[in-house]
Amino acid sequence: MTRNLYTIPRTIEILCFAAGMSCAFITFPEKAGAEQPKAATEATEACLECHAEKGESITFADKTSKSVQVDRKSWLSSVHGGKLACTDCHREISGYPHRKVKFQDAREYTLARGNTCQRCHYAQYTRALDSTHYEILKAGVREAPICVDCHGAHAIQNPKTPRLSINEKCATCHGSITDEFKLSVHGKALLQNNPDAPACTDCHGAHAIPSPSGAEFRLNSYKLCAECHSNEEKMKKYGLNTDVLVTYLDDFHGASNRLYALGAGRPEKPIATCNDCHGVHNIQSFKDKDPKMAREKVVKSCQKCHLGVTPAFADAWLSHYPPSLKTAPLVWAIKVAYTILIPLIMVGLVLHILLHLWRLRSHR
């Protein structure tokens, strides 16, 4: 018989994870259905009788204070409004007057409350433990962001709407990078609410954010670009070439990066990937611009790694387009010749070995 877990009393908690792991408890509401939001709202209203008033604050050991006012309208319009009661998160509060907080300052209090979200959002919480933000926090940098720094504490909105709000959150710490991104072809499109334009989390992830300076991130960065730039339906809207990934993986840079990304050790020197030539956050469009200007940019990109090369060095680049009889007849002819000759040579070698084995057997 299937039991409705929402009928289990609130006081009963289930231990989620085995010993040795970070443990969390799931607390079930007292009642199911429409009565649950009603009970949560009633419990919240009791708290808001005090906390909706201005001037309420808590004082820390360093004599600084933090406002504990909660805007009623913002809370009720949040994703948790009407669904959770205050004590679902502030479980240490059991009556009035509340226990005095014993923290050195406001940031220490925020960090101590940081585990609250894991009770409901354990998957996202554990991913965040693998992020570069958490590594920075473990190293002792208290300003490293935790859940509430990105999502807020009470006025929590759907993080995907509007998408521009994602970048605004990241700008709290990464202001200069965000300003640079706004001037890029991606940033300008995002400012116009283009749903195809990438936000920070599309490239860096939302919770398990890897270090962008790590070798693993660099080796696999071309895959991030390919998610959009290999999408024919999406690129057709903007008249962009979808062969960028195929042509990149066909040349030395792409083939080498793919091998290393698959686990073939670590390169002695960095191998060019998309952002080495196109930029990271300041990506500009060269569509409908002077071809000479675009060629000069290519030469400058090559010179970052190939010091002292002349403009002729970049002439070997086919601009991410597969060679054709019209655009690069010599390269196309060689490619066709290899496509035909290599299988013929392999068939010839196998036939030669088989005939040799047959001769040995027949003359035994």
Distance of CA 107 to the CA centre of its chain: 26
Amino acid 18: pLDDT:
32
In terms of domains, do 84 and 42 share one?
yes
Range of the domain at 298: 212-322
Domain membership of residue 341 (yes or no) is: yes
Beta bridge partners of 26: 14
Q: Are 131 and 210 in contact (CB under 8 A)?
A: yes
Do 316 and 354 have their domain in common? no
Residue 26: pLDDT band (50, 70, 90) is: very low
Whose tokens are 């002077």? That residue is: 290
Q: Which of 93, 41, 94, 97 is nearest to 72 (CA)?
A: 41
Q: What's the predicted TM-score (pTM) here?
A: 0.76
Does residue 238 belong to any structural domain of this protein?
yes
Mean pLDDT across 307-333: 86
Model confidence band, residue 297 (pLDDT cutoffs 50, 70, 90): confident
Alpha helices (H) along 35-184: 35-51, 72-76, 86-89, 106-112, 122-128, 132-138, 147-151, 164-170, 175-182
Confidence of residue 8 (pLDDT cuts 50, 70, 90): very low
Cα–Cα dist 101/59, whole Å: 8
Answer whether residue 231 is part of any domain.
Answer: yes
User: Do residues 63 and 34 share a domain?
Assistant: yes
Integer Cα distance of 265 and 181 in angstroms: 33
Within-domain flag for 163: no
Question: What per-residue confidence (pLDDT) applies to 355?
Answer: 93
Whether 303 and 353 share a structural domain = no
Q: Determine contact, residues 269/276, Cβ cutoff 8 Å.
A: no
Tell me which of 119, 143, 178 is where a domain ends.
Answer: 119
Q: pLDDT: is 300 or 36 the higher one?
A: 300
Please state the rounded mean pLDDT for residues 222-232: 92
Question: Which stretch of 4-13, 251-260, 350-359 has the lowest confidence by average pLDDT?
Answer: 4-13
220 with 261: CB under 8 angstroms? yes
Q: How many domains are contained in the chain?
A: 3
Q: Which 3 state secondary structure label does DSSP give 14?
A: strand
Query: C-alpha dihedral over 99, 104, 110, 116, to 10 degrees?
Result: -50
